[in-house]
Amino acid sequence: MTVNVETKFVLLTTNRSGSVWVMSTLNSLQQVTAQGELFLPKARVSEERWDSDFACPRFIETEFGNVTFRPFSVFSYLNDLYSAPGSVGFKLMYAQLRRYPEILVYLIRHRIRVVHLVRRNHLDVVLSYAVKAKIGRAHLLSGQSARDAIRIELDTENLIRQMAWLERKQGMARQLLNWSRLPHLEVAYEDLFRDRTHFRMILDFLLIKPEEAIPESSVVKTTRGSHRDVIRNHDEVKERLANSKFAELLE
């Protein structure tokens, strides 16, 4: 038996943090179902995505989403989700938790385990947003590739402000988790990507004991190379960040 305990969990994070890569990896394990953004306030699109074969309907796509009597409609939706066999989790963005604060009540009441995924390099997050805007999609699957080598010009005027906001959001999420006293584990995308054995920390926290090796994700990076390879105005960005606390984030 691959999973000894049926753990209910949430991956709390923000956009462009590597969360699809992490969840698709977890979902590849036997008896683990890792869903995407179930509280994203829009219906799914038809294009192929990492979770197209198994994704359950988002909250707004269900009968619960048409019921205005919150929070009980949200509680019922989560009860249905977590009634599935095996270890079950979904991805929850900071913004979605603000939109549906009753989710926090549910998590606390049911002692749901929370994996807090962060990305330390806020410059990479800003760059990832820009890449997404340029290629018109959030992720690439195995076998897909961007049409050309991607080079991005970043808006240096607002760059430090954007990075500072990303840093504040992470800090507020940490404070909320500490205040709630939920069982939680913070992991960094950079650590996971550099050394896949860090996934073992997540599995141990979620009480998942796989017999097989940690599988490869079906999601691949959209860019390759250093910051200088990808950022068209690299020197301008370097000058802008030079006297800030974010200077060391630029390669």
Write down the pLDDT at residue 244: 95
Q: How far apart are CA 75 and CA 169, in angstroms?
A: 25
Contacts 24+ apart (CB under 8 A), 219-222: 219/20, 219/21, 219/24, 219/50, 219/139, 219/140, 219/141, 219/142, 220/140, 220/141, 220/142, 220/144, 221/140, 222/128, 222/131, 222/132, 222/135, 222/139, 222/140, 222/146, 222/150
Write down the pLDDT at residue 10: 98
Write down the pLDDT at residue 4: 58
| The amino acid at 170 | Q
Q: How far apart are CA 207 and CA 197, in angstroms?
A: 16
211 Cβ neighbours under 8 A, 6+ residues apart: 2, 30
Q: How far apart are CA 111 and CA 5, in angstroms?
A: 15
Q: Which CATH class is domain 8-249?
A: alpha beta
* Residue entry with tokens 């009540």: 105
192 Cβ neighbours under 8 A, 6+ residues apart: 18, 22, 198, 199
pTM of the model: 0.89
Residue pair 206/9 in contact (Cβ under 8 Å)? The answer is yes
Residue pair 8/112 in contact (Cβ under 8 Å)? The answer is yes
Parts of the chain with a pLDDT under 50: 1-3
Per-residue tokens: 216: 């490869």
Angle between helix 159-180 and helix 234-241 axes, rounded to 10 deg: 60
70 Cβ neighbours under 8 A, 6+ residues apart: 100, 102
